[in-house]
Every structure is written in C-alpha cells, then in structure tokens.
Structure 1
Amino acid sequence: MNGSQRRRVVVKIGSSSLTASEGGLRREQIEYFAAELAGIAAAGEQVVLVTSGAVAAGFARLGFEKRPKLTHEKQASAAVGQALLMQAYNEAFARCGRVVAQVLLTRFDFSNRRRILNASATLEELLNRGVIPIINENDTVSVDELKFGDNDTLSALVANLVQARCLLICTDMNGLYTEDPRKNPDARRIERVSALSDELFAMAGGSGSAVGTGGMRSKLEAARIAIRGGVQVFIGRAARPGDLRAAAFGDGDGTYFDAELQKLSVKKQWVGFHSVPQGSVVVDEGARRALAEGGKSLLPAGVKRVEGDFHPGDVIEVALEDGRRIGRGVVNYAAWQLQAAAGLSTEEVQRRLEVPRIEVIHRDEWVLF
C-alpha cells in the first residue's frame, strides 16, 4: 500500500452482491458487509462505502417483474429502493456499533469545482467523527448524459477525492483472468498488475449481471482512474468472514493494481476524470506521438477536425481518426478559432488570429488516458 496516503479505505459493493435477481435486498449480505467494514474500521482505518442497489432494491416494491428499462421507471424504483437500502444499512451497522451517513452524488457534483469541494468538506467531517459515509449515485435526479454508468467509476472518483490508500471493488469473480474461467478451465488469474494495457482491457470482456450495470471492463476503467490518483486498487471476491479485511491489508482473493508513483495533481485529476468535456478535436499521428510519447503540448498543426462548441478554459477531449480517445485537457481556443487554425503552422496562426497562447492544449493542463 502507498504509505503516503491516509489510513482510508473505500469499498465498492455492487447490486449483484446485495440484491436478488427478482429484486429486493438480501439482508444477510447487508449484515455480512456491515460486519466486514466495521472490522476494518476497528483496525484503525477510516472507511467509505460506495454502494449500488437502489434500483434493484425498489423495483419489485413498485410491481415490476424485472429491472425496468425506462428512465422514469428506474428513477422511481431508485427513490423507493434508496430508502430501503439505507434502512437496512443503518440497522446492520448499528448492530456493529457504527454510525452511518447517506451521501448522494451525481456526475455534475464532480464536474463543478465548488460543489465537489463542499462534498469533500462534508466527507472529511464525517470521517473525522468516526462516521462511515455510504455513497450512491443520486439516480432519482441523474440524467443519462451525465450518469456515471455504474458505481465502479463513482468509487474511483471518491477514492481520489478522499485520498484513500486503497479502493476495494467487490465482485463475484476473484480477480482478473487471462480468459473467462467459467468457459476455459485453463484460464489463469492475474495476481498483480503494475501497468494497465490494451491487452488487459481485451481480457476484461463485457457486461455485468441482470440486476447490475458494471462488468469487469468498467472495473478496469475505475482502476485506471484510481491508480492515476495514487490509490491502490483491489478487484476480487469477499464472501467469508475476514475476506474484506484481508483484501484491505494486501491478502485478498483477487487482483491488486499498483498505484502510480507519480500521481496526478488535484487539478489534473479534475481535468482528466471529474470534468465534463464541452467538445473534442481529432488529431493526426504526429500530434498523438507528441502528446503521448514526447510530453509536448498540442499545437494547431496537428488538429484535423473540431467538434462541439467550446470556449477558452473549457475541457475538451482529444481523439484519433478511428475514434480512440487519447486524453483531455483545457483548451486555449474557442471552437471557431480552432476551426480556422486547424492544420496551420504556428507562424501562420500568429499572422491570422489573435489568441493568448499558441498551444491548443498546454502540456501542464493535459491528461493522457
């Protein structure tokens, strides 16, 4: 574990671990995780729980036979289910002598600097008072274009926000395998990952369960966010007493992902993972090499196409012709200016346009994916 981080552990538990396939909560699972988290807290760690399960807990109460598809149906289910979920957690943690607090967040909260600073201050106060914050996405008010998609991403953002030393993502698989072990008995589990690669994402496969939304790929995306913030990640299984505590202290049944030694600054974390891009640019291979391999800034000469309506100071994404995103950063041009400057040399841009900085995105305000 990264010794420079605080003694804080963020644990993410998905819908499939807490709810039945036909809907409703599995109380024995709530009791199990409450006892595990209370044990970690008793060992001197400050604990944050990121939980899914509101929609799955509530849809049966509303008369749905299976998880609904329409947004308003899911939001109504979440409104009912979140109350049931927190009631169950509150009762289970109380039996362990622990006080809990509900914190509901949206993507907009993270994209707005003031709102996320307020959320950070609240979490600090709760943790310093020995309370276990229970965080979920505010499904009742979230809109599709600003949703996290699953709580794996939310857990990684929270882990960075509270400067946790580790993030534990619980799943029904005991780690990342070279192939699906349910289909190939010769599949090998990967014990430790020091760097994420395209090959690892290819191994991760697709979607999750009928009651959840996240598969192994979304967990790898979450790991990528967390380790860039200096947080070690564990993805694996916790089913028996002591499993979660073992995972928190380096001996879990799963895969560990090492934190990057050179973690991103708070500002770059916001640019790379919290902000909502206002547009994008497509760049050529030379610009990709300069950004990804040379540590250079993006210049107008490397821009091939501009998409969206953005202004100086906005965050935009950078992609290649084949659609692959390579990163994002703070842009120094308005969209109309960049359309006029795209493909031109530095000297030509300086003759034609009045811009405060020649770089489209300066390397100090750039995050490589």
Structure 2
Amino acid sequence: MNRRRFLKQGSVGGVAAAAGAALAAPAIAQEAPVIHWRMTSSFPKSLDTIYGGGEEIARRLQETSDGRFTIQVFAAGEIVPPLDAINSAIDGTVECAHSVGYYNWGKDPAFAPGADLPFLLSARAKAAYNYYGGGIELYNEFLDQYGLVSFPGGNSGAQMGGWFRREINTPADLRGLKLRISGLAGMVFERLGVVPQQIPAGDIYASLEKGTIDAAEWIGPYDDRKLGFQKVAPYYYYPGFWEGGPTVGLFINKAKWESLPDQYKALLRNCTQATDMAMAAKYDYLNPPALKEVIANGAQLRSFSEEILAAAYDAAIQIYAELSESNPWFKRQWDAVQPYREDWYLYAQTAEYTFDTFMMIQQRKGKLAPTAG
C-alpha cells in the first residue's frame, strides 16, 4: 500500500472521528445535564452517622454522575426545623429531605409505617420487605398524594429503650412517668400511663438533670455516649421496641423527581440503597465499643421486663386496629406487612438465631476473647 495515500486516508478518518465525537458531545450533554439540588436533614451534624447518611447519598451521587448531579446537604435547622424537613420537600423549599416518616405522624399517621412502627421488623427484615416485598412501592403509592417520592436511605438497627432516673420493673412503675418520646411510640406509652413529653434534643440533658422529665429515649450507644445521660439518668434500658429497624428515607419532591433523566433516577436509587445498607453496617460496627464505654462511665444496663414488653405490644396492636378503621392508607400498609412479619419471625428462629445464640453463650463463657499470638 502507498504509504502517502495511507497516511492521507488515516488523517481523513481521524478528522472524521474527531468530528463525530464533537457532534456527539451535545447529545451526551443533553442526556446528562448538570443538576444541583438541596437536601435538608432532620438531624444535626453531631449525629455523624445518621446525619452522615445524607452526605453519603450526595457523595455517591456526585462520584457516579462524574460531578454532573450534585446535592448540597443542610443540617437540621439550617433551612427548616428538623421536624419540618419532609414538609419542605413537599412545598418545594428544597428538592429533597433526609428524614424519617414518623416525624410527619401529625400530618398523617400513614407516614409512620414507611419508617417504623412499634414491634414491626428488624433492620434486616425491613430491608427484605422494602426491596423484595413491595414496601417501597406501597409507601410511594401513599406518598403520591403529597407530591413525594421516597427511597430508603439508612437504618440505625434496633435502638435502645432510653435513659431512666429510676428502675422500671413492671407496667405499674410506668404510671405517671414523664418520658421524652413522641409519635406512635408516645401513644403506646400513654396507654400504659406514661406522660409523653416532646423536648428538643438540646434540652434533654437539662430536663433530666432538673427532674422536669423522668426518662428520655434517644438512639443507641454510639450517639447516646456523646450526651452524657448516664450522669443524670443512669438506668439504660433496652430494647427500643418502637424502633426495631427504623428506615431513614430520602423524600424527594415528585415534580423534581419526574424532571430527572432516567439515568439520574437510576443513580439516585442505587445511591440511596447503598447508603441504606452502609448506615446499618456502620452502626453495627460502632455501637459495641460505645456500649462498653457508656457502661464504664456509669450506665447501668437493664432490660425491659417481659411484662412491660407484653403490655406495650398489646397496646400497640390495639392502636393499629383503631388507626386502620379511620385511615385507609395506614390500614393498607399495616395489612400488607403482617404476613411477611409472621413468616420472618418463624424463619428467624431457625439457622441464624440458633447460631447467634450458641455464639453468645460462648461469649459469656469467655471463649471468644482474643488469644495471645
């Protein structure tokens, strides 16, 4: 082949290829536009793991979109108060909010099941139900009337039952107790004679110290250890039966969601799911040493008695029946999850429960302690 002719043809081909790339660029840009959203969180920056879930969604999205789809995260109170985060996504103040559905309990009780209900599911079971049992789809059917779309964006796992100034052994011990708690959990405790109190996070310690309240629920060891509750309310109870696996959601203004290209919708769904799993794993890693720390600093660990748990369970089921009579969307979600809940706790008694129980026995015997190398 004539070398000069080959080079000439090659140059033409190269120019044509470059021209094709140049012509393709606008089309690619149209498919992947530059988009900037704002997200308001219901959590302060001091709760780095649960607040950090919003930041992680934003970070993953920026990385996977090559910086073309970004979300700026604002902590609770920077744009709106923490309990107004979801409402700010509804009215378009922000494009999205990182929050828990039961914060909108007062607006509509049917917001709660998408986050958690007392005696519902563990974090692992909740993820299974959400991703494979239609939980996400059903919740979004309900949210449609409020102009929202939501995807799970974190889970704390089963939370602790809170800090008490005195020991609580029977349901009778709860009567007249002033407990910092809200929402459906507050309704359950109210049926047991507790006086629920809604107190901002920053005022909990002072309220316990002064005796304005007798107890307060918060989250779990990793977050609780920062607040020093053991100094004023040393009895640390478990489990937080009202939050066995609370889903933290990303609530998106529906009009903004529908304006996204399909590829961005897929990226956002994937980023929220990855964050949902990552937050649960992070809490599982951080809580064990944090629990040892709060005990070393004076916390006295206590379990709610079987009698208290049974009384609370019966009260919760009664409340769900009442809500189902008055709220069709609450009923739809409650009815949908119950068959899976029954099957899950039947299955959970087999392989893994048996394995975990055996390993816990070994731990109590000291057989899991690290051996000298």
Select the structure that is richer in helix: 2
TM-score (norm 1): 0.22
TM-score (norm 2): 0.22
Select the structure that is richer in strand: 1
